[in-house]
Amino acid sequence: MTRPTPMDPLVPTRHASVLRLGAIAREAMAAARGGRVLAAVTRAIYLESDRGELTWLTTAEAPMHGRGLSLQGPLPLPAVGATYVTSADGLTLNEVRFSLTWREARVWRPPSVRVEPSLTIAELSRYLPGVHAFLEGLPAPRGLAVLLRSIMARPQEPVFDFEGNDEARGLRRGTSAIAAIAAAGRTGNMAGVLASAEDLIGLGEGLTPSGDDFIGGMLFGAATLHATYRLPGRIPPEALHHFLIRAEARTTRLSSTLLRDYAAGQGPEALHHYVRALLAGRPVAEIRRLASEVIRIGASTGWDSLTGLWMALGMYTAAAVPSMAERPAGPRRTPPRNMEPWISNRRSRRPTTKQHAA
């Protein structure tokens, strides 16, 4: 007997419910009548609406994003170009007879770009070296994250070594661009940072190449740090606008959309949690746990965006702290041996994380 195809009327329509619905996705779906499948992989289906907005369906285990619709259970695997139609409270993928509803979904909104930190920028610069150990116990870095240790150790003048890492050798040409980014950041030339980053656009393979993910993490970090600390050296809006336009012509549709989101301080949920923990001075064990969630994003997307974020952390703290050197410092205290290697010397009514731990 011939097995029925998905288009066969005997094949029942599968129904699913959306658990969480990103705020951007909700607006995009409300404004559209339908669209097409842009790409489909095991854990995500990328959709482009008839209004040109991108959203995606993911499994419940995937980190949330403002453009995401998180579903329980496995996803279908529609062909690229397959169509879907939307209704007031759901959508249907026609070719694979898959229907979902977001009637009872919880709406997820990306957190505010501005964080309420526990650390000042000077305290953050002293805290960050103490959490480099979060990499211990994580899987081997992928993509441009093979450079992460070098970037964390010497953010202003990173030294790169690809010896013995065959997988990353194809990304070797990105090192000169990253070194140029570091040099421009060292002088506070953020327009120069963007100009250097152009050589990373489209570097790598996949729907979101490693170079793009690195830039995305860096832009996300820059947006968060500037909004939180009101630091000098903001990326010039006009330069950023032109950079994003040029990126559209040089990388994938999905990747250029994500770059715009990152630049606005909107990233995957796991990355928001990670950077907030850093700005709060959380213990190494917690930073490691949150990093393990970030690196689960894509094949190397999480690793690459994490590396770009640390590039931004290094640039902004190195640029900001010398300008504070002439200010009178508070009394220094030697941390007990059983605590993290840094402790806040600010006077505050609210105890710090380290004081809680004590």
The model carries a pTM of: 0.85
Specify whether 186 is located in the same domain as 50.
no
Query: pLDDT tens digits for 164-190?
Result: 555 556 677 788 899 999 999 888 899
Residue 230 lies in a domain: yes
* Average pLDDT of span 111-122: 90
Q: Which of 87, 108, 129 is the last residue of a domain?
A: 108
Task: Note whether 147 and 277 are same-domain residues.
Answer: yes
Are 170 and 29 in the same domain? no
Report yes or no on 54 lying in a domain: yes
Name the domain boundary from 85, 108, 131: 108
Task: State the total domains in the chain.
Answer: 2
353 part of a folded domain: no
CA 133 – CA 178 distance, rounded (Å): 23
Residue-range definition of the domain harbouring residue 211: 121-324
Number of residues that this document lists for the chain:
358
* pLDDT digit string, tens, across residues 49-105: 999 999 999 999 999 999 999 998 889 999 999 999 999 999 999 889 999 999 999
- Considering the domain boundaries, does residue 332 fall inside one? no
Same domain, 162 and 32: no
With the C-alpha atoms ordered 12, 18, 22, 23, is the resulting torsion angle positive or negative? positive
Co-location of 139 and 92 in the same domain = no
Same domain, 235 and 286: yes
Picking from 108, 139, 161, the residue at the C-terminal end of a domain is 108
Does residue 225 contact residue 119 with C-beta atoms inside 8 Å?
Answer: no
Average pLDDT over residues 262-267: 96
If asked whether residues 80 and 154 sit together in one domain, one would say no
Average of per-residue pLDDT values in the chain: 85
Do residue 292 and residue 174 come from a single domain?
yes
Residue at 345 is within a domain:
no
Same domain for 147 and 98: no
In a domain, 242, yes or no: yes
In a domain, 346, yes or no: no
- How many CB atoms are closer than 10 A to CB 131? 23
